[in-house]
Structures are given as structure tokens and as C-alpha cells.
């Protein structure tokens, strides 16, 4: 081969001619930029769509037939806006007060009393022929589904009429009259639930962080993952709270109940199946601030999840009685929620002085006042629905955080729904779901 001619051909190449690999690299760059632009555009569209969905979910309900958006203020208002009724399905249910339960237990050793439908009188029950089946039927009158326990105790003859026997008739308890004589003289002490047991004793006075093992019945009611109210476990599938928590948050599927943690974040949540509200009367619009939440699955007993006891029907608390309040509410007025559960000790305040000092008669016989005369310790926004607690060997929820003026200001204590005033309502709602 002639080397001179080869070098001449090599040197005569156009210096501007680029190799093939360079052209391929530039093609890849152009394609990559195009792909990146498409991906970023899609990501922006997804983000915008997500934000639009969040906005629509917070302001509207989507109707399938006809296809339209219904403002949330029109949801659960009693008027059908969707052809298939989605806007009025699964709404909180208003439940009027019904007839009283035919069974109740006294603060005196949990002695059972039954109502004689013929005379309208309450009587103790003779222990002689009382059976587990009778105990179960009696507890069902009060809405309990767990296995009860009972034993016989002595009772003074002056407390009530002589004890009667009861029998089962079509699944209900009936008083036998005149019945056999109660030979043992013992009456039934009945326990429908193992409740009110705290793993720790509160020792710190004033507002302070709390452990969930001290208050294992405390829950957070959350609407679209946002804490709205507190509540109390009163049974495996039941939470007691305030009715006003649901005023602007009517969609049942959007509610969750967080239990078992003293922190607002994390921990397991439970889906809500139904919400029951006490009917409000125009004469007393602040009365009946009570609600029952039925969960889709039960909350099992652990060190951090236990039920609180309902109060006894005859538990009369006197002014000055020490009580406890707990919650994640604002630490100060116009503040923000506490991430950690807080506890504080307060006192029961006389209803008359509560009205005279601050509330001008708005505090009714179905409410309680609690706080400290000098102020400084009180419930606040975010504590609504939580419990006002009393201990008499076991813990009872005697009140529900309802309303008040300010947070911890002197002479304006917190106002609570009296749970004792609504025992028959609670019993009737739970009984209807057995």
C-alpha cells in the first residue's frame, strides 16, 4: 500500500466532520430532556390534581347520579341532593330520649335494682335463684354485651322494698310478684363490665404531661386525620364524646378513632361505623351535648386501652369534689394543640354560683361546672368530648367537655355534660345495637 497516498487521504478529511458516537449522544440528550419534561409535567398535573381533590373533599360531596358536587353544608341536612341519597346516607343519627331501662346498679356495692312495670317501683333482686342467664339479660338492659359477674350481699331492710325474684320472659327480665320468699336475705351485686382500672396513679397537680396507661380510655377523634375532639372508651366498640364535635364534620367514613397512645401522631386508628347524637330541644340548645360512636371493630383490653365506667345513677357529687380532666387541647387560649396528652386536677363547682358568676342561667341541671376558683387550670379548644373523671375505687366518666368562656380565666369554669343525666339514653342506644 502507498503510505503517502493514505496519509494524503487522511489529512484531506473535513475537520468539521463529527464522529457517529457524538451524534448518538446528542440524540440521547434531546430524548432525555423531552422525557424529563414530560415526567415533570405529569408530576405537576398529579400534584395539582391531588390538591384539587383535597380541596373538593374538604368542601364537597360527589354525587354519582346525577354527576355533581354537593356542598358539605348540604350533606346530612335531611334533604336529598343526590338521586341515590349518598348525601344523606351514613349520617349521624339523632336519637330521642326513650323509656328508662328496667335495670340499674347503685353506688352501694353495685347492688342491682329492677323496675316493677306494674307498680313503677324499683326493688332489689333476691340472690337465691339468680343465674348467669339472668345476669346477662339484665346487663343487656343497660347495653352491655360482655360476660357479667355477680354475688350476694346483705342489704338493710330500710333501703328499698323487700327483694324480689326476677325471671326471663321472651328474653327480658320480669319481676315475679309476689314470688317466693328470699330465704337467704341476700341481694344481687352485679358487675356488667370490668372498667375504670388505671395502670398508674396520677400524682402531678396542675397541667402536666400524662401517660396513656394512667388514662387508657382516652381517645382522639380525628376527621380526615385531623384531631377534632377527645373521647372515652366505655366498652369494646363504643366511645363517648360530645355531639357538637360532628356539627361541621358529618361524613362518617371520614372519621377515625385513635386509641392506645398519649401522642397525637402515630398509633392505631379504628374506623367508625355509626354516630348517635342526643336530640337537641329548642328550649335548651346547649343541653344534650352528648354522642356515642360505634366502632367497626372492638378495642381490646390492653395496658393502654381499657374502658372507663359510667357513673352510678345515684352518685351525687358535692361541690369541691376533686376531679380530673385530660386531653390534647390548646395549652392556652388561641394557642395550638398539644402533641402529648395533658392532665390536670380540678374541682366540682356549685351550679348556682357558676351561673351567677359567669353563665347567667345557661348551666342547666344536666350540666356540671368544674375548674379552680382562681382559674389557670381548665379545658380548652381541642379538649371537647373528653372526660371529666371521678375516682371512687375505680374511675368513672361523670362529665363530657362541652363549652365555656375562655380557657382557664378566673370565674369562668368549664361546663360539662352530666353523664349521669343521660344514662337511660346511653343504655337505650347501646341496647338497640346488641
Catalytic residues: 244, 289, 384
- The DSSP bridge partners found for residue 272 are 295
Rounding to the nearest 10 degrees, give the CA dihedral for residues 220, 223, 227, 230.
Answer: -40
The Cα 310–Cα 139 span in angstroms is 13
Direct distance between the N- and C-terminal alpha carbons of the chain, in angstroms, rounded to an integer: 104
Residue 9: burial class (beta carbons within 10 Å; 0-12, 13-18, 19+): exposed
Find cell 376527621 and name the residue. Answer: 223
The Cα 76–Cα 248 span in angstroms is 10
The Cα 388–Cα 346 span in angstroms is 9
DSSP string, 212-277: TTTSTTEEEEEETTEEEEEEEEEETTEEEE-GGGGTT---GGGEEEEES-SBSSSS-EEEEEEEEE
CA distances from 55 to 50, 58, 106, 327 (A): 9, 5, 51, 29
Amino acid at each position: 500500500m502507498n503510505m503517502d497516498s493514505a496519509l494524503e487521504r487522511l489529512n484531506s478529511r473535513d475537520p468539521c466532520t463529527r464522529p457517529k458516537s457524538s451524534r448518538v449522544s446528542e440524540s440521547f440528550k434531546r430524548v432525555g430532556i423531552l422525557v424529563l419534561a414530560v415526567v415533570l409535567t405529569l408530576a405537576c398535573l398529579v400534584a395539582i390534581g391531588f390538591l384539587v381533590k383535597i380541596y373538593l373533599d374538604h368542601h364537597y360531596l360527589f354525587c354519582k347520579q346525577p354527576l355533581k358536587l354537593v356542598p358539605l353544608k348540604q350533606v346530612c341536612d335531611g334533604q336529598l341532593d343526590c338521586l341515590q341519597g349518598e348525601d344523606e346516607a351514613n349520617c349521624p343519627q339523632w336519637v330521642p330520649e326513650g323509656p328508662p331501662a328496667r335495670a340499674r346498679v347503685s353506688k352501694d356495692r353495685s347492688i342491682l335494682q329492677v323496675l316493677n312495670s306494674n307498680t313503677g317501683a324499683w326493688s332489689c333482686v333476691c340472690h337465691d335463684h339468680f343465674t348467669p342467664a339472668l345476669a346477662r339479660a339484665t346487663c343487656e338492659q343497660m347495653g352491655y354485651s360482655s360476660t357479667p359477674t355477680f354475688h350476694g350481699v346483705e342489704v338493710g331492710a330500710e333501703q328499698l322494698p323487700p327483694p324480689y325474684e326476677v325471671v326471663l320472659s321472651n328474653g327480658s327480665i320480669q319481676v315475679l310478684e309476689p314470688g317466693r320468699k328470699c330465704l337467704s336475705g341476700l341481694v344481687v351485686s352485679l358487675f356488667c363490665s370490668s372498667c375504670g382500672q388505671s395502670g398508674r396513679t396520677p400524682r402531678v397537680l396542675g397541667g402536666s404531661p400524662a401517660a396513656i396507661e394512667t388514662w387508657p380510655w382516652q381517645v382522639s377523634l380525628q376527621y380526615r386525620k385531623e384531631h377534632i375532639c377527645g373521647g372515652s372508651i366505655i366498652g369494646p366498640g363504643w366511645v363517648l364524646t360530645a355531639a357538637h364535635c360532628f356539627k361541621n364534620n358529618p361524613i362518617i367514613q371520614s372519621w377515625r378513632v385513635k386509641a392506645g397512645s398519649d401522642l397525637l401522631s402515630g398509633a392505631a386508628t379504628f374506623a367508625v361505623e355509626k354516630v348517635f347524637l342526643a336530640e337537641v330541644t329548642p328550649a335548651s340548645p346547649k343541653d344534650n351535648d352528648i354522642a356515642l360512636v360505634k366502632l367497626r371493630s372492638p378495642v381490646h383490653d390492653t395496658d393502654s386501652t381499657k374502658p372507663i365506667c359510667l357513673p352510678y345513677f345515684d352518685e351525687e357529687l358535692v361541690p369541691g369534689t376533686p376531679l380530673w380532666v385530660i386531653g390534647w387541647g390548646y395549652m392556652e387560649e388561641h394557642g395550638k394543640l398539644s402533641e402529648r396528652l395533658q392532665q390536670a386536677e380540678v374541682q366540682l363547682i356549685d351550679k348556682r354560683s357558676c351561673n351567677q358568676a359567669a353563665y347567667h342561667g345557661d348551666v342547666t341541671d344536666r350540666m356540671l361546672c368544674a375548674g379552680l376558683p382562681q382559674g389557670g387550670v381548665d379545658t380548652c379548644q381541642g379538649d371537647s368530648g373528653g372526660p371529666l373523671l371521678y375516682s371512687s375505687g375505680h374511675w368513672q366518666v361523670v362529665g363530657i367537655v362541652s363549652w365555656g368562656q375562655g380557657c382557664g380565666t378566673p370565674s369562668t369554669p368549664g361546663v360539662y355534660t352530666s353523664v349521669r343525666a343521660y344514662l337511660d339514653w346511653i343504655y337505650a342506644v347501646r341496647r338497640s345495637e346488641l
